[in-house]
A and B are shown apart, each in its own frame.
Chain A
Amino acid sequence: MANTIRLEVITPSRMFYRGNVELVVVRTATGEEGFMAGHVWSRKLIDIGPLRIREEGGSMKYAVIAGGYLDVSDTIIMIYTDAAEWDYEIDLALAVDQKAAAEKYLKEHRQLPDEDPNIVAVKKGLARSKARIHMAEKRDRRRNMN
């Protein structure tokens, strides 16, 4: 049996996840990275993207998180994120709509500079919608396989 470590995923509105895990995978600045018990202490920023958790016993859990911060120590891995949702909570149709709306906005406001706060916000939203769609499609594929 693999070693486990306590994982806590927190958002401003709820304790998203708390439990013992074998592995947690997030997207950091340099790409997707997995953390297991005994990892070197780290403090890293997380990008918008998927969160994959292998729980004690080997069952997998999937979620999408809106970027944040990760703190790894001996006893605990702490992930702080502004928003998180499980794959089964994602509304695919809604995500597709949001993605289209964001793309439309970016197209119409092409003249704005990249650092304009609206553009930054919309781009973030777009990245989240993409991550959601990706996650939802994977979820559906997994469902069809079973």
Chain B
Amino acid sequence: MAATNMADIRRRIKSVSSTEHITNAMKLVSAAKLRKARNNFDRTKEYFHYMTESISEIFYDAAAVPEKYLEGNREIVNTCFIIVTSERGLCGSFNANVIKQAEIEIEDDPNRSVLIAIGSKGKEYFEKRGKYIHSEYLMPPENITFSEMRKIANMVIDMYDEGTVDRVVLISTAFVNNLEQEVKSVQMLPFKVKAKEEYSMTDTHYIDTRSREVEYEPSVEEVFNYLIPKYVEILLYGSVLESATCEHAARRMAMESATDNAREMLSQLSLYYNRARQASITNEIIEVVSGSEAQNAEM
């Protein structure tokens, strides 16, 4: 009895410790990948921020923006959702969070929505549930290039221009810090432009812009026709990079807790093992002692 128990425990210890080795290795790998992605993300974040700020500053000058890109100029019937998830699993609730948020938003949308999936996890989920995936991009997000994002951006803008979709929403993960990521959903098109009254007096920067005469060349329309796809491209590219950073951070966390759990289990198991071993030794001693006692009694 005791011997088989010990063998069982030994087998479990072996399997748990090999799991621990694997999760630990994966943790190290994601930590390295996270560092790389983080670098990439930080570098681009700075200028994305600048670029989006500069663009929204121009959009503030609402009189100059072609109407069709502004909110409220047409009724919203079809919405396009761009869902950014990862290619691989084992990253905790990273994908589940994004998918949950997407589910809520899609349900809120009574009409047919167009889905664009970046990353296979989101695609598989919605495909299984009979949703129509308009298009997909399936590649590890750390290898994504700007020109590929541009293709998606152009497609989205074309659909918007044609009137196939009236709203574009991007659902992805925002990076707070290494331990915390949260899902964000951003409406990319049409633009929400704040009315002038909504700007407080502290936003002198904006008011300044407003009162300025600005020179556009070749023309306001052409500048905007250039900037609108750029804005979408940049937002998309930035979000994918951010999501990749989050994915690695989430995986590192998940693997860390898996490793911790495995270690805890190992210490429990070795306790059980020692107990079982001690029990079997005690048993043997009892057998020996009672055997000799029995002989003594016979004599």
| Chain A interfacial positions (CB closer than 8 Å to B) | 8, 10, 12-15, 28-30, 40-45, 69, 71, 78, 80, 82
B75 cross-chain contacts in A, Cβ below 8 A: none
B41 lies within 8 A of chain A by Cβ: no
Given contacts A15-B43, A44-B223, A45-B223, contact A10 B217 (CB under 8 A): no
B227 an interface residue at 8 Å Cβ cutoff?
A: yes
Contact A69 B217 (CB under 8 A): no
The reply to whether B226 and A15 contact each other, CB–CB distance below 8 Å, is no
A interface footprint on B230-261 (CB within 8 Å = 1, 0 otherwise): 10001001000000000000000000000000
In the complex, what residues of A have CB within 8 A of residue B44's CB? 12-13
CA distance A26 to B59 in the complex (A): 24
CB distance from A34 to the nearest CB of B (A): 14
B68-121 CB contacts (< 8 Å) to partner A: none
Q: How far is the CA of A40 from the CA of B44 in the complex (A)?
A: 29
Closest to B237 in A: A12
- Alpha-carbon separation in the docked complex, A80 to B47 (Å): 9
Partner of B217, one of A12, A13, A28: A28
For residue B218, CB closer than 8 A to chain A, the reply is yes
Residues on B with C-beta less than 8 A from A42 are 214-217
- Rounded to whole angstroms, the CA-CA distance of A40 and B43 in the bound complex is 30
Asked whether A45 lies within 8 Å of B226 as measured between CB atoms, the reply is yes
Tell me whether B146 is interfacial, beta carbon within 8 Å: yes
Interface: B222 (CB within 8 A): yes
**Contact among B50, B212, B222 for A45, CB-based, below 8 A:** B222
Partner of A69, one of B43, B146, B215, B230: B230
**Contact digits for B203-232, partner A, Cβ 8 Å, 1 yes 0 no:** 000000000111111100011001100100
A29–B226 Cα distance when bound, in Å, is: 13
B47 near A41 with CB under 8 A, answer no
- For B146, the chain A residues whose CB sits under 8 A away are 12-13, 82
The chain A residue with its CB closest to the CB of B154 is: A117
Given that A15-B43, A80-B230 are contacting pairs, would A10 and B216 also be in contact in the complex, using a CB cutoff of 8 Å?
Answer: no
The total of Cβ contacts below 8 Å across the A-B interface reads 55
- Tell me whether B26 is interfacial, beta carbon within 8 Å: no
Contact of B223 among A10, A15, A43, A82 (CB under 8 A): A43
Contacts of B47 in A (CB 8 A): 8, 10, 15
Q: CB < 8 Å: which of B215, B218, B223, B237 contacts A41?
A: B215
Query: A78 contacts which chain B residues (CB < 8 A)?
Result: 50, 54
Q: Contact check: which of A14, A30, A44, A71 meets B54 at CB < 8 Å?
A: A71
Cα–Cα distance between A8 and B50 once the two chains are bound (Å): 10
Kindly identify which residue among A13, A15, A29 contacts B218, using a CB–CB cutoff of 8 Å.
A29
- Contact flags (1/0) for B189-215 with A, using CB distance below 8 Å? 000000000000000000000001111
A41 to B, closest residue via Cβ: B214
Residue B157 is within 8 A (CB to CB) of chain A in the complex: no
Of all chain B residues, which has the CB nearest A39? B215
Residues of A within 8 A of B234 (CB): 12
**By the criterion CB–CB under 8 Å, are A41 and B46 in contact?**
no
Give 1 or 0 for each of B136-155: 1 = CB within 8 Å of chain A CB: 00000000001000000000
- The residue in B54, B146, B217 that gathers the most chain A C-beta atoms within 10 A of its C-beta is B217
For the complex, give the distance between the alpha carbons of A140 and B215 in Å.
Answer: 37
CB of B160 to closest CB in A, whole Å: 19
**For the complex, what is the distance from the CA of A43 to the CA of B226, rounded to whole Å?**
11
B residues within 8 A CB of A80? 51, 230
Q: Is B58 an interface residue (CB 8 A)?
A: yes
